[in-house]
Chain A
């Protein structure tokens, strides 16, 4: 069954406008629904005729928005676009009755119809989604309004709606990724903090190349970034406000100590991070607003790469207390860690899924690296990738897709950002302006 959720959400960034009158429904033969499971999925065929431009000023935007919606859906690997050249019907008016037979004839199971209107520098985007074989609309028609330069986000919002209505999972297209942009040869690499849309559009640099920067993470609300920088001469944790691109050290730390591997707690109010003191590395927690630092682990081994469960009750991290890196879970406030990684090889960089159901990790064995997922008790381990060097997974906000760093071997080896479904399907390189590493996926912006 298709779950009908409230499609009107109040949001800070982009609000959905009015629902549109429903087109009368026809006899139902079973609603369109795509289950995202581990099995092989035949991509669902969809058609998205170019959105109608209500006026001349909307022509370019209508074409661009249609293109981005289609690219979002195709990029999931779950949908297959039927090219416009194969369409029998042409949609000439947004409210015109849908010629279901024409779309059935080309086996389009989902049909997206939309229009774009330009008014005083703003765009109004309306769309409807139809279940072609049930001959009925799938959810309500919706309208988005925003500034002209925000057309990509409006397209991503339409695609998120389509994805959600058909899969029942949260969309992840209206999101951003913070990452490390890399330049120069392998033995003189320069790194910059950068941010982009999830699909590689709208890249912006947040630091210049003078200081080495590593491993950024988004705050749970996406408005702040925490990362490691060498700008003081030592690796230290910094906090950056995305809107203003201002940054400050997370806290004052003693000369000689190094802090790194920071992550926000789920409420965004604190940061957990590693600190190396006299060669020993443990995990600490401090409030973003300052105050006393709490030590969460104390062992003579390396404890790093912490990640909280979404409810904040538990923390997963890596430790080499038994020799090589392994993954442990402990109560968030401290307590006895339980090892959950059980296979051969080394396990690091655990990241708790935003859904709470899996932990993603990097596995290193016999000179190969893998991105994998396991249940939070360590069971059902599944390796999704294999290469010379894969590391550092980050979750899409719906917990169904991961991005990670893949680096090629040799003197000309270079890092790039890839994505893969947690089923192991749909491995893709993410478009970046150059070499890129250490992605961190934002929450949904709307």
Chain B
């Protein structure tokens, strides 16, 4: 009896045709990620992205495994809401993140919960929901890379990322 191997089922020659999104910059093609392009303006200009990021504050931090917004986070988000209402041409994607001290898929869910907490808060402060989207990166996008609480704290974050698009 002769036997044969399956016709090269595991030989992978097909060309890979993936979308052009970079892993780090996953925005829709209809918007421009100003944060990534240096078009931030001057922080002294209150209508600039740089002002939003640096003066208003583009991120809030969370306790371990939590998505509760503490007083400091709420104050930051109050400022974000005010700024967004004054600068209606910007759209927002809220990125939820986790530190590395957790399992991968749970952290995706946790990041989603954090991003939603920020979104819900901004909506409660009058920002139209249709200007806001959320995404979770779980523990995939740390900004600080030490394995200590000082870094973990910075990574347990939700970042409000502005893009210039069809503001409502």
CB within 8 Å of B: which residues of A?
A: 11-18, 144-147, 150, 153, 176, 185-191, 195, 202, 204-212, 214-215, 223, 228, 230-235, 242-246, 255-256, 258, 260-261, 274, 276, 278-281, 302, 304-305, 318, 320, 324-325, 348-349, 362, 364, 367, 388-389, 391-392, 407, 409-411, 413, 438
Closest to B135 in A: A234
Knowing A305-B103, A324-B65, A409-B147, say if A208 contacts B4 (CB, 8 Å). Answer: no
Knowing A206-B12, A279-B67, say if A17 contacts B3 (CB, 8 Å). Answer: yes
Closest to B26 in A: A233
B10 to A279, Cβ gap below 8 A? no
Closest to A413 in B: B147
**A146-B3, A176-B10 provided; 13 other pairs, C-beta below 8 A?**
A15-B1, A17-B2, A145-B4, A187-B141, A187-B145, A205-B12, A206-B16, A211-B26, A279-B115, A279-B120, A348-B103, A348-B106, A409-B147
Knowing A17-B2, A18-B1, A207-B16, say if A274 contacts B140 (CB, 8 Å). Answer: no
A279 to B113, Cβ gap below 8 A? yes
Residues of B within 8 A of A206 (CB): 12, 16
Q: Report B54 CB to chain A, min CB distance, Å.
A: 20
Q: Could you say which of B17-25, B36-44, B78-86 contacts chain A?
A: B17-25
Closest to A232 in B: B19
Q: How far, in whole Å, are A12 and B26 apart by their CA atoms in the complex?
A: 41
CB of B60 within 8 Å of the partner chain:
no
CB of B71 within 8 Å of the partner chain:
no
> 6 closest Cβ contacts across the A-B interface?
A279-B116, A15-B3, A276-B112, A409-B147, A281-B109, A245-B14
Closest to B28 in A: A233
Knowing A14-B5, A204-B12, A233-B27, say if A325 contacts B142 (CB, 8 Å). Answer: no
CB of B143 within 8 Å of the partner chain:
yes
Knowing A144-B3, A188-B24, A305-B106, say if A210 contacts B65 (CB, 8 Å). Answer: no
- Pick 23 A–B contacts, CB within 8 A, sort by A: A150-B5, A176-B10, A185-B145, A204-B12, A206-B12, A211-B19, A212-B26, A230-B23, A234-B26, A235-B108, A235-B135, A245-B12, A256-B134, A274-B109, A276-B109, A276-B113, A279-B115, A302-B106, A367-B101, A391-B104, A392-B103, A392-B104, A413-B147
Closest to B16 in A: A208
Residues of B within 8 A of A242 (CB): 9-10, 12
A279 in complex: contacting residue of B14, B18, B117, B143, CB < 8 Å = B117
B10 to A243, Cβ gap below 8 A? yes
Q: B123-155 vs A: 1/0 string, CB under 8 Å?
A: 000000000011111101111111100000000
A260 to B23, Cβ gap below 8 A? no
B14 in complex: contacting residue of A246, A260, A318, CB < 8 Å = A246
B104 in complex: contacting residue of A209, A215, A320, CB < 8 Å = A215
Residues of A within 8 A of B58 (CB): none
Knowing A17-B1, A17-B2, A280-B113, say if A349 contacts B105 (CB, 8 Å). Answer: yes
Q: Of B4, B8, B117, which is in contact with the most chain A CB atoms at under 10 Å from its CB?
A: B4
Q: Report A105 CB to chain B, min CB distance, Å.
A: 37
Q: How far, in whole Å, are A349 and B2 apart by their CA atoms in the complex?
A: 43
Residues of A within 8 A of B26 (CB): 211-212, 230, 233-234
A256 in complex: contacting residue of B2, B18, B110, B133, CB < 8 Å = B133
Residues of B within 8 A of A411 (CB): 145-147
Q: How far, in whole Å, are A274 and B109 apart by their CA atoms in the complex?
A: 9
Q: Report B28 CB to chain A, min CB distance, Å.
A: 6
Closest to A325 in B: B106
Q: How far, in whole Å, are A304 and B19 apart by their CA atoms in the complex?
A: 27
Residues of A within 8 A of B1 (CB): 15, 17-18
Q: How far, in whole Å, are A58 and B21 apart by their CA atoms in the complex?
A: 48
Residues of B within 8 A of A176 (CB): 10
Q: How far, in whole Å, are A204 and B106 apart by their CA atoms in the complex?
A: 28
Q: How far, in whole Å, are A276 and B112 apart by their CA atoms in the complex?
A: 7
B16 to A243, Cβ gap below 8 A? no
B14 to A187, Cβ gap below 8 A? no
Q: Report A51 CB to chain B, min CB distance, Å.
A: 18
Residues of B within 8 A of A256 (CB): 133-134
Q: Of B104, B113, B117, which is in contact with the most chain A CB atoms at under 10 Å from its CB?
A: B104
Q: How far, in whole Å, are A223 and B8 apart by their CA atoms in the complex?
A: 12
Q: How far, in whole Å, are A205 and B119 apart by their CA atoms in the complex?
A: 37
Q: How far, in whole Å, are A411 and B15 apart by their CA atoms in the complex?
A: 35
Q: Report A437 CB to chain B, min CB distance, Å.
A: 8
Q: Report A321 CB to chain B, min CB distance, Å.
A: 12
A212 to B27, Cβ gap below 8 A? no
